[in-house]
Structure 1
């Protein structure tokens, strides 16, 4: 399918050929007929993409600080590589989509195939959208009119925050697309509406809807005019839908407001506030968040859990429905706002002039196209061999670590699977991979694929491992192997019946630093003590890794790396685990904890996994104590030995073992050799991570069986 994307690296806006998405659980698959270009938002993205690196840095000072911190802990070259990889990510454009439902995922009963719907889908021939971000279109509303649903909801949410009442005077500053729809909605609500803009053509259009107007470009003083029109009282509310870096807009809004007036920001403006202007009138100021309640809440948007209507009357979806109802009843008119209707293939007529365009609303129209969830980018003779690799998941790890390392081996990568198709296609092009798909079944059925590499979110690891085992594929899966004992037991049972080789991405044991530690410790059976500290850094509570059903929590999802490393260094298996967590009553989840490990050979391990440390301090540290000797490893860059004959120090650039791991993996595939980590060790590490959480709940040592 064709989709419009923006490159932040080059600034180019491209119509890309990518595989169409599948209808995921809780989502609706839509074939697009129309989409609306949000000229304000998309203009900012395009102009940001075209700006140089210095300009980009000036616009994002918070990101610059993160880069500087990363340089301190990980070095200059790895940081620069990460920055340029990030800039190379393609960004899909658009969020005002209309089309016809062609499939529904599991857990969707609200929509049926054939329904005409509006959603926040992108400029693409097919989109798969969570059900709470989709609304049915009334029969008397055309597709072109319905394309205004989402953009109208942005204005509607600003109005709901303003809480206007019948007869109040509300000023709308900025009569672009959102402003014109906001003004009409306010008028329909029984308000006296005054619109401010510098473009006379927009003001003329507003006057057709019964809006009083002010044009500062013609010498009108916005503050004095509003005061005159309100008999010196001032506006009851000001809704700002303008886009400017100037602080003058917020100052004018304060000056033209009555005492205890309300100011709502929907657009993007300078925000250096004058305390005196707000203090004297006791003004309220609030920033409106997009389409309404539910926005950026994964539970509502991605998991489909609605808010009870009695407690949250207006959600995103109910705002969508309200806009469609207003169009259907004629309370707002959107056809006069349409400046141009352009076929998707001629998208550059819009984007090529987006920086200077005077258009209000540009509509993209789509012709019927055949659904395909795979794109063949090039013919590859190696695809007919049976040593091919298919990568499932195209996130940061795949892009910034896995593929760069694999590209330096003899790996024969034949496919990349990604949920949306864009990221996978970009990586396939960059790394000369012949196929991009959104359907994992296509690679499991491909005889050229010998090994599947899984780098998806954690909750998909076990199900995909099982599917790959049943398809007789070898498997590399990023940690963790599973999130529950039930999943692990299924994997053990299925693995023992298969001829597949299974590897988990416990890369640290393959680092040259870990190898050197193992070497200088020698082959003695004497027990050792290992202390590993992960200065993991704080991750906001709403990020998926904390969700026990999706990420499994940071102990199961990340601390398992060090369980495996200590098992490697001790040459033994974990027998008992105890976890102590910071906090009064941690029950099932934590990211500030100490894990104690007992091993069969008498060794002990301590893993300090902390999220409350400084990011400027080393992220990882390992200490080993054995036979009056000590090893210290700092951030996989410097290893020091104390009391060892012939070894005192090893130093290099940061190396966590990914290169060696993938080199060994490719050799194992080519030579049909044994797994690079024994299966029983993978199982033991996984059980130990589960035992840590069980210990947290039971407040006792847990024996591993």
Structure 2
């Protein structure tokens, strides 16, 4: 029997049996090996930390069956009309935490033979962060400040490194996260709120602040801070997905400095940048050494320990980066 992680009620985590079924035409059945937690989004959903008129409230309710968004596994069976995959192929998929998945073949990406399966799981959050790389955009010789060095922030700064940005400044409250940021390509890091480092940030960006600031936190106060430190005529990219959008308020910096605010979301497939296209680019960047992922998996859990995993994600944000479920025993 297959198993999956669900949120039966607010604040509760459970591992339950289910029957995934057989693949229909155009579908594949995949046995999951690893699935990676999207810490911010999943804990927001688990604890219902969102306003009643937010898109979270429209998309999620309890019992919540869909609890994750990225996994790697091997194809077990294929439906009719599927010719690009066969049993045994290793694939990445944007699917929930579960031992087995049945999904359209078109929603899978082939994982290169040399790619580590654990590292391949980062393709999901890498796609989310790529939206900021597109919106900024990150360019060779460019300059960017990234606020938040959590899982999405780690992926965002690595896209900036892959694009060969000249200045990649990263701010976070946790030194542990900033250590991983430096290993991933950050050229300068700041511990604490960016407003505590206003002079140093201004000096780093030739006195005017960053021309591009990426807020990966979804925190209303951080949004105000991002507006305050960004350079005149600069751009603030909102990548963090808040559950309380009504709390993210504009400040006078928007008008006085002529700022642009660009919101971007994982679902924004623009200019042909689909999941598969971004996956291919991500895998290639990893192969060429432009996307350093070593050490980002900080804990591996058996599915039976799922409640412990989510408790850790909630209690120790400073050191919980890559929380992985290992489904090899299922």
Q: TM-score, normalised by structure 1?
A: 0.43
Residue number in structure 2 paired with 1:199: 174
Q: Which runs of 4+ in 1 moved over 3 A?
A: 86-90
- How far off its partner does 1:87 sit? 5.3
Residue number in structure 1 paired with 2:279: 320
Output one character per residue of 1:185-208: Cα deviation in whole Å (capped at 9) or x when no partner. Answer: 201211110001011111122123
Distance 1:136 1:243 in 2: 32
**Max Rg structure:** 1
Alignment map for 1:367-516 (pairs within 5 Å): 367-369=328-330
Residue number in structure 2 paired with 1:215: 191
1:60 and 2:60 aligned: no
In structure 1, the residue corresponding to 2:269 is in which secondary structure?
coil
Residue number in structure 2 paired with 1:339: 298
Q: How many residues align?
A: 318
Q: Is the 8 A contact 1:40 1:243 kept in 2?
A: no
- How far off its partner does 1:220 sit? 6.8
Residue number in structure 2 paired with 1:364: 325
In structure 2, the residue corresponding to 1:289 is in which secondary structure?
coil
Residue number in structure 2 paired with 1:234: 209
Of 125-134 and 154-163, deviating more is 125-134
Structure 1's 62 and 167: CA in aligned 2 closer, same or farther, altered over 3 A?
A: closer
Identify the match of residue 284 of structure 1 among 236, 260, 271.
260
Alignment map for 1:72-221 (pairs within 5 Å): 88-191=62-165, 192-211=167-186, 212-216=188-192, 221=196
Q: Is the 8 A contact 2:146 2:170 kept in 1?
A: yes
- How far off its partner does 1:335 sit? 2.4
Q: Is the 8 A contact 1:138 1:325 kept in 2?
A: no
Residue number in structure 2 paired with 1:622: none
Identify the match of residue 348 of structure 1 among 307, 317, 326.
307
Structure 1's 95 and 258: CA in aligned 2 closer, same or farther, altered over 3 A?
A: same
Output one character per residue of 1:460-497: Cα deviation in whole Å (capped at 9) or x when no partner. Answer: xxxxxxxxxxxxxxxxxxxxxxxxxxxxxxxxxxxxxx
Residue number in structure 1 paired with 2:240: 267
Distance 1:174 1:88 in 2: 29
In structure 1, the residue corresponding to 2:312 is in which secondary structure?
coil
- How far off its partner does 1:353 sit? 3.1
Q: Is the 8 A contact 2:195 2:229 kept in 1?
A: no
Distance 1:178 1:229 in 2: 23
Of 155-164 and 102-111, deviating more is 102-111
Distance 2:62 2:163 in 1: 46
Distance 1:20 1:111 in 2: 19
- How far off its partner does 1:151 sit? 0.9
RMSD after superposition: 2.3
Structure 1's 162 and 108: CA in aligned 2 closer, same or farther, altered over 3 A?
A: farther
- How far off its partner does 1:103 sit? 1.9
In structure 2, the residue corresponding to 1:354 is in which secondary structure?
helix
In structure 1, the residue corresponding to 2:7 is in which secondary structure?
strand
- How far off its partner does 1:368 sit? 5.0
Distance 1:170 1:2 in 2: 42
Quick check: which one's helix share is greater?
1
Structure 1's 231 and 101: CA in aligned 2 closer, same or farther, altered over 3 A?
A: same
- How far off its partner does 1:237 sit? 0.9
Distance 2:61 2:111 in 1: 37
1:329 and 2:288 aligned: yes
- How far off its partner does 1:229 sit? 0.4
Residue number in structure 1 paired with 2:25: 25
Q: Is the 8 A contact 1:263 1:285 kept in 2?
A: yes
Q: TM-score, normalised by structure 2?
A: 0.88
In structure 2, the residue corresponding to 1:170 is in which secondary structure?
strand
- How far off its partner does 1:292 sit? 4.1
